[in-house]
Amino acid sequence: MRSEAAIPPRARSAMDGFALAAASTPGRLRIVGAVAMGQPFLGSVGPGEAVRIPTGGVLPAGCDVVLPIEEAEVRGVELACGKLSVGDAVTPPGSDLRAGELLLRPGRRIAAPELSVLATLGYASVPVFRRPRVAVISSGDELVSVERAPEAWQVRDSNRYAIAGALRAIGADPVHLPTIGDAPGELLALLRTAVAEFDAVLIGGGSSVGERDETPAAVAALGAPGALVHGLKVKPGKPTLLGAVGVVPILGLPGNPSSSLLVLDAVVGPILARLCGLAASAAPLSAPLGAPLRKRAGWTWYVPVALEQGPDGLVAQPLALRSSMTSLAARSDGYLALGEETETLAVGERVDIYRYAHGGPPTA
């Protein structure tokens, strides 16, 4: 999309003051009128003359400079002015946008800054890609709806709402599908419907490396390429499944709440981001570590951290990772991504903190 006209189309005042010709300075000038916002100035300004002008006002013909009000010496209808140069306190035409300048490339997400530009240029409507529709499936005999009081052997199905919230934050349109149990065949039947109607499918829970896990077989039964990855050397997130049927990604997340959100952001997040038109994630925040860390060699760990104010700035405080804790993600400001080669980190060592793409508390 390109600008059809220069913005601003004519020179405007950058300050409240007096518009005049630089050639008339230095000297005493006669004030012959005023520029009103939203109204054209009828007439021109001759040598030795000046007009009052507000910030944003269009310079009248004959003017090429603005004397700020703070520097003006006014006595009645006369203005004393020192030497000025052409263009002082003036916003020249085309300084914001040039006619024909490329503004928005296809695939650019429309947010507040883009809306401002589009409205400025008179675009009341623009063609857009629709948001990807992503099916959200919860799986597990232990799950009950949030309205029910769970028994000791049951849990409320919180993951489906957390996953949906994360999807909305990155620009997808999540759709809740019915919760299913662990009975054979239930997942396959629901997946068959989902891949025919949606752009991607997220399965919360149900994926493990145990004998009861039918997720890889169900994905494979729907068509190629099937389950591409099942099981990762990561903590948390070992049972993560990455697959596809045709061009529809099928992503299986761990059932534990904190693990699910960490894997959703760190592992499958880039896949969903590309689906939503996001080219790259935000740069990580750097901070010193507030406590020592030791991890298993040969594995990738995602460690949630809370950012605390220390004497010299923010400090990353590691949080104990218990995957079953629903509140862990809400209490953290982000996470560390520790690669296979890392085994220990000392107090004070600077680390990169990745903020959740789906939101989280502010860092300052």
Domain closes at, from 275, 304, 329: 275
Cβ proximity of 336 and 316 under 8 Å: yes
pLDDT of 145:
87
pLDDT of 358:
52
Dig out the tokens for 232 from the structure.
Answer: 């990762």
Q: Which of 306, 322, 180, 353 is nearest to 259 (CA)?
A: 322
Residue 161 structural domain: 133-275
- Shared domain for 1 and 107, answered yes or no, is yes
**Averaged pLDDT score across all residues of the chain:** 89
The span from the CA of 262 to the CA of 290, in Å, is 21
The span from the CA of 155 to the CA of 294, in Å, is 32
358 belongs to a structural domain: no
CATH number at residue 118: 2.170.190.11
The span from the CA of 302 to the CA of 316, in Å, is 14
Domain closes at, from 254, 275, 296: 275
- Shared domain for 175 and 204, answered yes or no, is yes
- Shared domain for 6 and 95, answered yes or no, is yes
- Shared domain for 214 and 138, answered yes or no, is yes
For residue range 146-157, list pLDDT tens digits in order. 899 989 988 888
Alpha carbon distances (Å) from 240 to 2, 29, 191, 301, 336: 44, 77, 17, 14, 19
Number of domains forming the structure of the chain: 3
For residue range 43-75, list pLDDT tens digits in order. 889 999 999 999 999 999 999 999 999 999 999
CATH number at residue 226: 3.40.980.10
243 belongs to a structural domain: yes
The span from the CA of 343 to the CA of 357, in Å, is 27
- Kindly state the percentage of the chain with pLDDT values over 70: 94
For residue range 293-315, list pLDDT tens digits in order. 999 999 999 999 999 998 889 99
Dig out the tokens for 44 from the structure.
Answer: 């021109």
Q: Which of 163, 206, 158, 156 is nearest to 181 (CA)?
A: 206
Domain closes at, from 240, 256, 275: 275
Q: pTM value?
A: 0.75
316 forms beta bridges with: 289, 307
